[in-house]
Every structure is written in C-alpha cells, then in structure tokens.
Chain A
C-alpha cells in the first residue's frame, strides 16, 4: 500500500499541480475506457438477441423459407392465410415473448440478488413461483378459482393472484419484524415449502391427465403466448423499468453493505420492500402467462456481474438482456429438439442452467462473491 503520511502537497522538486492533473486525466481516460467496454458488451448482447430473434422466427415445424417469413411480416395481407397465421399468430408472439419474459426474469433475478445480498437468490427462492404454480394447479384440479373469471383467463389469473398473495405474506412478515435480508429469505423459504407441499397434495389427489396439465405449468411453455398476453407483459415491464431506474444508485450502494448504504442516506428497508414488490410483479406475470421457467433469474445476473460489474446502471440492463438472450436461444432449441411437439421450455433452461451453475461454482475467482 502506498499511503503517504502527509496529505499530498507539492514537495520540493516535484512538478506539483501538473502531475496531479496528469493523474486525473489518466484516470478519466481509464474510466471512460471501462465505460466504453460496458457499452460494447451491451451492444453485443443486443445484437445477439436480434440474431436469436430472427432465427427463432425462422424456425418451426412448418418449413417456411426465409423469403416466406420476411414477406409475411412485411406484407401480411398478401400471403397465404395459413402462412400468415403461422408467422403472425405463433412465431412472432412466441419469439417476442421469449425476449420479454427473459427481460422480466433477468431483472427480477438481479434485483433479488442485490436486495438479499445472496448470489443464490432468484424469484423462485422466495416461493413466488411455487405459489403461482399452486394457484394454477388449483384451477386445473379443483376448478376452484379466487375470482370468477372467464374460462380462458381462469388459470393464469389464479396463478397471478396466488403469487401476489405470497408476496403480500412475505411483505407483511417483513414489516412486522424487520426487513432484513435474513427475514425475507427465511419467510420466502417457508412460503416455498408450504406451496410445494400443497402442490404435492393436489397432484396426489389428481388423476393422470390432471397431473400432466400441472406438470406443464411447472415446466413452462412459451407456446401459449399470444399478442394479448405479450402486450400485458410488455406493459408491466415498461412500468417497472422507470421505477427501477430511479433507484439505480441506491441499489448500487446497497452492494456496499447495509450500514454503509444507510450512512450514505439510503433507506435500506424501503428499498428492500420496493424491490420485493417489483420482483413479485415481474415473476407473477411471467408465471401466469408461460408457467414456471427456472434458472434464468439465477443465471442472468451472474453473467451480467462477470461482464459489466455491479454499477446498476449497467448491471440491471445487462441482466435483463442476458435473460432475454438465454430464453430466446432456448426457444430455438426447444423447437429443434423435438420438432412438432410442444416441449416444456423450463426443462431446457434447467438443463442449460445446471452445468453453467456448476461451472460458476468451480471457476469462482478469489473474491468473486
């Protein structure tokens, strides 16, 4: 360490002000260099997503040429009705949904890991998805719903409502005690186990066809995406983003530790609660429309952290985009693996996520968390 015992004053023979200016400029250039690198990463992953999106739209059991797809997108009125349906009703919404849900889950995971100071945190750690899955299963097995809604929205609405219930329970307990990360994590684990057991109970009571339907929910599927659900999801994400943006420095400060953040004037409890609510909304939306898709919320933040660090101005967007990239790629694979059959995409993300996770653990650089 290079600590001078007196504050830096120009000493005998030293250039003084000029040298400190030079230092300053060097640091600024270095900093700008780092910033440029981060922007480059953001740009690259955005480009990658555009690529996967294009491939995703081009892939499917119906063998359509690139020409067909492009002309159907540009001139929908002039193409064959069945091709139009395939591209506009299935491929486009599904490919876009993959991106939007990936963004939602990537954001939710990033927020979770920051506010809970835990690299293993993900939206699913708090049992939010378990409660959503339970809500869906309840609708399927018992035909019991919280709100008497039209049949088509019955199951997703149930899933959404139940995940909000679990969020409120966690919030309530956190308020009652103290919103430390330990409290929230413990409550979340309790919620997780509660709903997992209830889910098991339902499966026990259900017949094989019902179990199959529940399994579907538990492993997620993009194929139910349509323009309406896509619109709602986009709307929710667009509302969440500015709410997050205003707290971007507070979240970064939170990474320095609760006390340090408090000393910098951050209301740590309020940030936690707000983060919890945003995570729940994002997760509930995702689960309601595409079922449970695991590992994205866990893995995307880690990728972001390794590449752009924890300045949340870059960390949050990169996490979101990583999530979008993973899910978009998984969407392509799910169509290639078993063409023509609906493949639960959650299985793919888990299969990709687990080895990645292990690799992360093994290659842990000293000090990387």
Chain B
C-alpha cells in the first residue's frame, strides 16, 4: 500500500514536535533516522492514528479519516518502542491478539491456523506453547512482529525494534523484516538509531531533525559525512562497500570533550 503524508503538524503541550512533514512511502523498507527528539516516534504514532495530527494522511489514495476504524487497524500495524510485557499467556495466544477486532468468544480454527502460520513464517513456531514471560528480549520482539503481521497489514510501522537486541539478533531481525516486506509487498517504515543497519536494509532513508525532514533518498545519498557532522554533531568516515552501501565509522564528537590535560 502506498502511504502519503502531507503537511503533518503536531504539538505536544504547545511545543511543536512535528513541523510540516510531508513524505511518500512505497512498498519497501524505509528507514527514518535522526537524533533524539527529532520526532521519529511521534511521526510513527501520528501515521497510525494513535496521535491526532493536523494535515492529511493518505492511504492508497484515500484519506485516512475516510476509512472505518477497523479498516485502519487492519491496514496499518504499529510496533511501539517499549514492548515489555509481563502478560501470563502463551506465544500463540499473544499472536492471536493481533487479530483482536475479529475475535469472538470462541477462537475459530482459522484464527489458530493464521496464528501458527505467522509464527512459522517468522521461524519461531517452536515457541508457540512457551509462556510470554519466559522469552528473551529478542524472542519477545519476534512475537511482537508476529502480532503485527498476522492480519496482513499493508503498512508496518516499527519504532526502534532492535534497541535491546545483540548484534546477531539485530541482523536476523532485519533479515526477517526485509523478507516479509518483499514477500507481502508491505510498506515498512522503521525508525532507527543505527545508521549502518539503516544503510544496509533500507531501500530509502529519511532524515529527521527538530521535527522536520532534512533529507530523503537512497542510503548513499542521505548518509554522508557532511550530514553526520551537521545533524549528529559527530565526525565520522563514510565509505561505500562493493554494493554501494555506505558504512559509517564514527570518530569523535565535534564538541571538545575529554579530560583536561595539563
């Protein structure tokens, strides 16, 4: 599904957080990068309707407001940043909750199958009967993703999904994200801190700072030494590998730090 945003503005307690944001997202993995408080999380929340912003959000050519509420929920899936849960239920049951709006008192066989299929798709079907509170952080993230894609959304919004994961799991998670995006032709928008992950996995990179979009385009065009210095205040070396993917090696902060030597 194609997601378009026009002139989005959002204030929180009279503080402008999003100042006139416009962008177009196609079915691919798009990474939103930027320093803290750039407005990345807020943007995602506005896109799925959790926060009400001024401006227009257009999904597949139709304004979001024109859709029914459950159509929106079915179409746009949102994975929030903090996903810690202590719920006492099995992975299968948690995944089922992704289809909450269509659940009746009894769970239908189709729902169960859909749940299992989703787990299989993500390769975690052997976790199906495990309790949620016994899982590691990475496993919980996978279950969250299962919840998000069980209803085959057209748009998948993820807010820093790899925050608490180690290196291996970060890469594995993004492999999965890329695969399901390709397979289901989803529009996946991921807010990220890690520039290298963004560069490797995203087809398009959007840079935000101070509530505005500073740049948008291919990873190589957005992630440059100049951009990093200007927006992040960091001196870095950016090289392109054989496939043209930029790799960032941070060197030091542009501010003078360190212990004063005599």
Contacts and interface: CB of A to CB of B under 8 A. Distances in A.
Chain B interface residue count: which class? Answer: 35 or more
Nearest to A19: B120
A177 interface: no
A257 B179 contact: no
A162 B176 CA distance: 56
Between A8, A30, A256, A367, the greatest number of chain B beta carbons within 10 A of the residue's beta carbon is seen for A256
Nearest to B93: A311
Interface residues of A, number: 40
A4 B176 CA distance: 8
A249 B84 CA distance: 19
A126 B205 CA distance: 48
B50 interface: yes
Interface stretch (B95-103, B194-202, B218-226): B95-103
Given A1-B142, A27-B112, A30-B128, A309 B88 contact: yes
A7 interface: yes
A23 B116 CA distance: 8
A260 B80 contact: yes
Interface string B118-154: 0011111111110101101011001010011000000
Interface in A1-37: 1-8, 20, 23-24, 27-28, 30-31, 34
23 contacts: A1-B124, A1-B136, A1-B138, A1-B142, A2-B124, A2-B126, A5-B172, A5-B176, A7-B176, A7-B180, A8-B123, A24-B117, A27-B112, A245-B105, A256-B85, A257-B85, A263-B50, A263-B78, A263-B80, A264-B73, A264-B101, A305-B88, A309-B89
Interface of B: 48, 50, 69-70, 73, 77-90, 92-94, 97-98, 100-101, 103, 105, 109, 112-113, 116-117, 120-129, 131, 133-134, 136, 138-139, 142, 144, 147-148, 169, 172-173, 175-176, 179-180, 183
Interface of A: 1-8, 20, 23-24, 27-28, 30-31, 34, 245, 248-250, 252-253, 255-257, 259-260, 262-266, 305, 309-311, 313, 367-369
